Structure formats: C-alpha cells, structure tokens
Amino acid sequence: MNGIIPLWKPKGMTSHDCVNKLRGILQTKRIGHTGTLDPNVEGVLPMTVGKATKLTSFITDHTKTYVAEISLGQQTTTEDNTGDTVSSKEVDPSLTLEDCKHAIDKFKGEIRQIPPMYSAVKVDGMKLYEYAREGLEVERPVRDVTIHSIELATEQFAQYSTNDVRFSFRINCSSGTYVRTLCVDIGSEIGYPAHMTHLIREEAGTFHRDETVTFAELEAAKETEGLESFIQDPGRALTKLPVYVVEDDEIIRFKHGQVLSIPDKLKETDLFRVETEYGELIALYQPHPTKSELMKPYKVLQT
C-alpha cells in the first residue's frame, strides 16, 4: 500500500492521533502526516502511506489555505479560544468591516511572526508549550512567512458581547504560518486585543477539501475491502512540479537513483518529478549542483 490519503482531520484529534488511527485501519506502521493541525482545528491533512512517506516533508512545505474566525475584544494565553483571557477591551460600535479589510490587506506579502508560547516550536530541546505549562517565558525565534492572499470571508460581524465581535477571513500562506498569531496581529492593527475562535484548513498543497475522506468512510471501506480506492498516487501531490516521462528501458536507472544526463528543458528547474508513461511516480530529480550536464536524485520512491 503506497500513496496519499487526503484525510479530513476532525476536531478533537492531534495529527499524531490521526497517524495512529490510520495505522489501525490500514494495518501498516509506515504512515506520516504532512503538517501539524491543532486538536481544535479541522481540515485537509494529507497522509502519506508506504513509500510515499519519503515525500512527507516535501508535501508539508507546500502552501495552505485556511478560513479563520477572529474575535476582537479579548486576547488569550494561547491566542485561541482554549486559553485564559489576558486583556480585554470593548469594541467601538463604529467599527466597520471595511476598517477590518484595510487592516488585513496590510498583511499580504512577506511578514515576520513570533510563534505563540503554546506551540510545538522547539527552543533548547523543549517545545514552547512545555515551557508555557511550567509558567516559563523564553525567547522565541522570529520566523519569516509569506501571505500569498488574504481576504474577508464574511459579510457582517457576529457580535456575542461588547468585547467579542467576530469576523472571518480566508488566507493562502506558506507552510509554518501561525494563523492564531496572525489573528492577534490583525487585532492589534485594528486596535483591539484579539484571538482566533475557529479555523478550517481548506487546502493543503494540491489537495482541496472537496476530495478528502473521513475516518468513517475509511472504516466502511475496510469492511468492503475498498480502501485502495482512497489511496492516490504520490505524484498527485506534486502536480505543480515539471514532469520528465521516461521510457521503459530507462526506468531501472531512475529506480536505482543513478546520476544521469539532464535534458536541456529541465536544466533551469529546481526540482522535477520522474514518471512512467502510465503516470507512476518513480522519483524526484534535480539538476546536479556542480555538473551542469547532469541530474541527480532528490528522492527515489521505487526502490
């Protein structure tokens, strides 16, 4: 069993919980997830199976699309609605969605973020949330992320109280972006403490929510021996990369990860996928760093 399952991660489970549950369904240990989602977040989580686990880190680095709900008026310890309130301010009734749009527009492009204390980022061998649980503050590493697009995803505010006024936005961003932190920063730009109240991941790389599968569907398919129908070819996650189609007599050389001559059309690419004429992904290759006429393997799947 080799390939990718575009899972819809439910609320209440960690990404690692999903790995364990899928291991039980598929009866295999070789499974990976392609990007951590917090337990209270639901959405697209591609799972790699078998030899496709070699692509896990690569797929994780792809862009993501989220729909987030932000609450203006309160900031929390965790930057979402699971934490304790640390600051509060009543929202002025004169605030408009247009004001919010102007604020979020300022975050498009490259921005700098400081990861929240309640996150899995490691500092000196410990995860930040481990420090936070002990009541310790440590210096957090600044990271650069890219917001490719950001726009309002609501037509009016949802007001629950004078210090809980919410709206939603959709964001396409680079891997590693903390949407919780973005909500806090957007609130600050508008002039209010803020936190994230809801988050859905709609896209992860080339996978969209419309093509995901739930655990219930997988468990039902297991009963009818139909699990294979939900496992997609690994190349499906790499369709944005250029492709080099090899002839039957060349396949064995790529399966063995040989350094080979590179076609002129691929010399200017950073990375490309190597497939058979039937669309079977064999490997990822890249131009050789020191020998311009050659290419070398990046990842070989068919060994």
Residue 274 bridge partners (DSSP)? 244, 283
pLDDT for 198-207, tens place per residue? 999 999 989 9
80 with 162, same domain?
Answer: yes
Q: Token match 């009818």: residue?
A: 224
Question: What pLDDT sits at residue 302?
Answer: 65
Q: Is the pLDDT of residue 197 over 80?
A: yes
Instruction: Please tell me whether residues 212 and 279 are part of one structural domain.
Output: no
State mean pLDDT over 215-220: 95
The confidence score (pLDDT) of residue 117 equals 74
- State the pLDDT at residue 23: 95
Q: 53-57, 65-69, 85-89, 163-167: lowest mean pLDDT where?
A: 53-57
Cα 293 to the chain's mean position, in Å?
35
**Do residue 71 and residue 176 come from a single domain?**
yes
State how far the Cα of 15 lies from the Cα of 98, in Å rounded to an integer: 36
pLDDT at residue number 259 = 95
Q: Are residues 152 and 91 in the same domain?
A: yes
Cα→Cα distances 125→37, 122, 130, 131, 175, Å: 21, 6, 10, 11, 22
pLDDT at 2 exceeding the cut of 90: no
pLDDT at res. 256: 93
Binned at pLDDT 50, 70 and 90, residue 258 comes out as: very high
Residue 38 annotated as catalytic: yes
Of residues 199, 195, 182, 190, the one with CA closest to residue 109? 182
How many CB atoms are located within 10 Å of the residue 121 CB? 17
Beta strands 74-76; 143-152: pairing state: unpaired
| One domain for residues 40 and 148 | no
Q: What is the Cα–Cα distance from 38 to 197, expressed in whole angstroms?
A: 13
Beta bridge partners of 31: 49
Give the residue-averaged pLDDT of 153-179.
Answer: 96
Residue 187 and residue 69 share a domain: yes
What pLDDT was estimated at residue 303?
A: 57
The answer to which of 43-52, 148-157, 230-239 has the lowest mean pLDDT is: 230-239
Write the burial class of residue 124 (CB in 10 Å: 0-12 exposed, 13-18 middle, 19+ buried): exposed
Flag whether pLDDT at 171 surpasses 70. Answer: yes
- Model confidence over 8-36: pLDDT tens digits? 999 999 999 999 999 999 999 999 998 88
- Per annotation, catalytic residue among 17, 38, 124, 264: 38
Q: Which residues on adjacent β-strands are paired with residue 88?
A: 74
Return the residue matching tokens 């490259």. 110
The pLDDT of residue 274 is 93
Same domain? For 133 and 111 the reply is yes
Q: What is the pLDDT of residues 273-289, one digit of tens each?
A: 999 988 889 999 999 99
- CA-to-CA dists, residue 105 to 50, 100, 190, 285, angstroms: 42, 9, 11, 38
Q: Tell me if 52 sits within 8 A of 4, measured CB to CB.
A: yes
Domain span at 120: 65-197
**Residues 189 and 73 reside in one and the same domain:** yes
Better-predicted residue by pLDDT, 115 or 248: 248
Query: What are phi and psi for residue 184, nearest 5 degrees?
Result: -60, -45
What's the pLDDT score for residue 137? 79
Structure letter (DSSP) for residue 106: T
pTM above 0.85, yes or no: yes
**36 and 126 share a domain?**
no
pLDDT band at 301 (very low <50, low <70, confident <90, very high): confident
Return the percentage of the chain with pLDDT > 90, whole number.
70
Which of 143, 169, 197 is the last residue before a domain boundary? 197
- Asked if residue 188 and residue 135 are part of one domain, the reply reads yes
Number of domains in the chain: 3
Q: What is the domain-level CATH number for residue 248? A: 2.30.130.10
CATH of the domain at 76: 3.30.2350.10
Residues 143 and 252 reside in one and the same domain: no
- In terms of domains, do 69 and 191 share one? yes
- E-strand stretches of 191-303: 194-204, 207-208, 243-246, 260-261, 272-276, 281-287, 294-300
Q: Stretch 252-259: mean pLDDT, rounded? A: 93
